Chains A and B, each alone.
Chain A
């Protein structure tokens, strides 16, 4: 079975540019989560969706970040404009049911903003 698929795996871009990260959850999973991981702050939940609806976006750092889930098999996380402090590894995870169940992670996108 295919796991959570994220793209791109690596992204290097200049400050001020728009960045779009993509995620395809495991088929049949109805919850999707976006995380950011840094050495300083560890793994932080940015936003999660249940049945394509954003449930909790309290972790989104500021208005420069936005996330969408137009259908059950696709989600995007967008940063516009990007800043060097956004450099991190961004993970997408999915689970069956609401937020309480086991989550399965994608391979992540390593983002570097110059």
Chain B
């Protein structure tokens, strides 16, 4: 079992819709959780982090954490074509472990 799992996608959503990206992790001792966005040919860019159970909102982005079920998700409201990228989930135990990413495609 991989330590951090994500569906590779692509996840295709129409412009204006809500995109929901999910991530599960195996280590119950994980304390901090991150979402990175990576455009093709570019470096990962931090967009959200969450430490506590529940929701954390930042603009059009909401991160959701459920430690009991060991999943973390990212919701993108009012999706735009510019949101098309690969989204990497990262989970920290004693070091940061990345998932392989979900490719999101937002079509006009």
Contact = CB atoms under 8 A, between A and B. Distances in A.
Interface in B2-36: 31-32, 34
Contact of A45 (B32, B42, B45, B96): B96
Contact of A103 (B31, B42, B96, B97): B96
B14 to A, nearest CB: 28
Contacts of A68: none
Interface residues of B, number: 19
A101 interface: yes
Nearest to A59: B95
Contacts of B49: 102
Interface residues of A, number: 18
A105 B95 contact: no
**Majority SS at the chain A contact face:** strand
A91 B96 contact: no
A85 B101 CA distance: 22
Contacts of A99: 92, 94-96
Contacts of B31: 100
Contact of B101 (A42, A48, A56, A105): A42
B99 A42 contact: yes
Interface string A70-111: 000000000000000000000100000001111111111000
25 contacts: A33-B96, A42-B98, A42-B100, A42-B101, A43-B44, A43-B88, A44-B98, A45-B95, A48-B95, A56-B94, A56-B95, A91-B44, A99-B92, A100-B32, A100-B92, A101-B32, A102-B34, A102-B46, A102-B49, A103-B46, A104-B46, A105-B44, A105-B45, A107-B42, A108-B43
